[in-house]
Each structure stands twice: as structure tokens, then as C-alpha cells.
Amino acid sequence: MSGREVITLSVGGVRFVTRASTLQQFPESRLARMVNDDGREFKLVNGEFFVDRDGALFSYIMDFLRTLQVSLPTDFSDYQRLQREAEFYGLYPLASLLSQEHLLKPRLEVLEVRFSLQEMQAFFRIFGSCSTTIEALAEQITVFTGQQSGQGWNSPFPSQKPLIPLPLERPSHHDMVFLCGTEYSAGDQFVARYVSIKPDNRKLINGTNVLGLLLDTLLKDGFRLISTRTVASEEKVECYTFERMKRAAGLAIMVNQTPGSSGVAQARRSQVQKGK
């Protein structure tokens, strides 16, 4: 069998096809010994190795052997069973990472949007438990300012006058503050603030419209609205609370491939971002 490049396994009735080199990533493991004809634990039936273990969990074993990373679904909960499977196959570096369950579990991310109307202006404050999300959102939101004649939410867009982008107010790494609408300047002149939220190209001045676009942007980004309430104060402030499960970063194993090495993975961990 050592001369075959492609290996087929039937694990608990689930069929897997992979390269021999993938199963040989860790030479001291049972899977590597199986490929090298050093072990007789697994029967060869019709050209396939039969393994009497959990086939569903073996798919995570295969993903680890192919990528040398541990990245599990957000709803995964069988850490102890998967650790036991890793130990059975002799993949002790994987078993060691799985024992650190807290590093692999997804984290709940909470984000709060506060909105209030005061005369012809709308005030926004966004607070998030994850600073990287706030940073990304700050890059999407731009406030533009300019002067115009007339008054009201629906004043015509002052195309003849250039709008100037304003930096968002950032009280901390976890929140941002901005406003839109108009305020009196002098004579019949008003200072107008428009808000643009990428990828939408519109510049909106009406606070209710900005709120609708902001909430829609968050929903498209994977958040779900869990509560709305009015904060009790002199000025009514609407509060919208969102949450989402953020996938944990993958944990990577570095394999020692130096000549004469036993092939056992070195115990170095590094975080690899896997997305939201």
C-alpha cells in the first residue's frame, strides 16, 4: 500500500478519499502507520480501509490534516468526543489544542445603536463589544458637511457647493458618535450634515433614513436584532441591540520537517483569522 498516492477510507460507513501524504503528516500517528503498512489495525476491504470510528467527527480530523488548522463550526459542541478521536488516531497535537476548548469556541458579539432626534438633527452613537467591528464600521460611515439655503430635512442637495468630509467622533476604541441634519448658521444659511454608509452611494440628511440604512447594513453583516427600547431620559433615545456569533480564530500547528525529525508537530500556536 505504501506505493499508492490516493487512499480511500470508510470511517463508520462514511467514505473519504485523500492523498497518502495527507495521512502521513504525523508519521507516528495510526493513520500514517496504516499507509506505511506498519499497522494491522484497519482492515482493507475492496481496496478501502475500514475504520470502526465516528465518521462525522473524522471529517474534522481530515480538515485538520489538510490545513494543519483547527477551525470548527459556530454550533460545534463535541469538543471532548473529538479530542478522544484525535487521541485514538495518535494526533496528540490536535488533542492538545482541543483540550483548550475556550480558545476554539465562538464568541458572542454585541453591538448597540442609540438614536435620538432633536429639532432638525439626528444623533447617533454606536457601541460594540468588538473594537475591530467598530473600526470596520467607521471606515464605512462618512459624514459630509456644507452650507445651504432654506431649512428642513428635505432641502435640496447643494450640488453647487462642495461637501467636506468630517472625521467621526471616537470616544474610545469601542464606540463612535456622529450626527446628521441641519442647524442654523446665519441669515437664511444652514449647516447641513449628510451621512453616507458604504456600499450605498447616497448621501442622506434625514435621520430616520440614515437609521434605516444603518440597521439594514448591520443585518446584512450577520447581526440580528434582539431588542429595541426607549431609554428613559429628558430626551427620548431609541436603543437597538444586536448580536452575532463571531467565529473563533483558527489555531495552527507547525510541523517540524527537518531531516531526522520524528515528525511530531511542534507545540507552537498561532491565530489564523477565519472570517465572521
Each residue's pLDDT tens digit, 206-255: 999 999 999 999 999 999 999 999 886 666 899 999 998 776 666 666 65
Residue 176: Cβ within 10 Å count: 20
pLDDT band at 37 (very low <50, low <70, confident <90, very high): confident
Q: Using pLDDT thresholds of 50, 70 and 90, give the confidence band for residue 200.
A: very high
- Report DSSP state, residue 264: P
Helices (H), strands (E): how many in the chain?
Answer: 8, 16
Q: What is the dihedral of CA 116, 119, 120, 126, to 10 degrees?
A: -10
- The grid coordinates of residue 105 equal 469556541
pLDDT in tens, 130-182: 899 999 999 999 999 987 665 454 554 444 468 899 889 999 999 999 999 98
Q: How far apart are CA 180 and CA 190, in angstroms?
A: 12
| Averaged pLDDT score across all residues of the chain | 82
- Where residue 183 falls among pLDDT bands split at 50, 70, 90? confident
Give 214-219's long-range contacts (Cβ < 8 A, gap of 24+).
214/113, 214/124, 214/126, 214/141, 215/113, 215/240, 217/140, 218/111, 218/113, 218/242
First to last CA, the chain: 42
CATH 3.30.710.10, domain 6-104, yes or no: yes
pLDDT at residue 105 in the model = 78
Please state which CATH class domain 108-246 belongs to: alpha beta
The residue that leads in pLDDT, 69 or 159, is 69
pLDDT at 249: 62
pLDDT of residue 107: 81
Look at 19 and 274; give whichever has higher pLDDT: 19
pLDDT at residue 66 in the model: 93
Domain boundaries along the sequence of the chain: 6-104, 108-246
Q: Which amino acid is at 98?
A: L
Q: Is the pTM of this model over 0.85?
A: no
CA 107 to the chain's CA centroid: 10
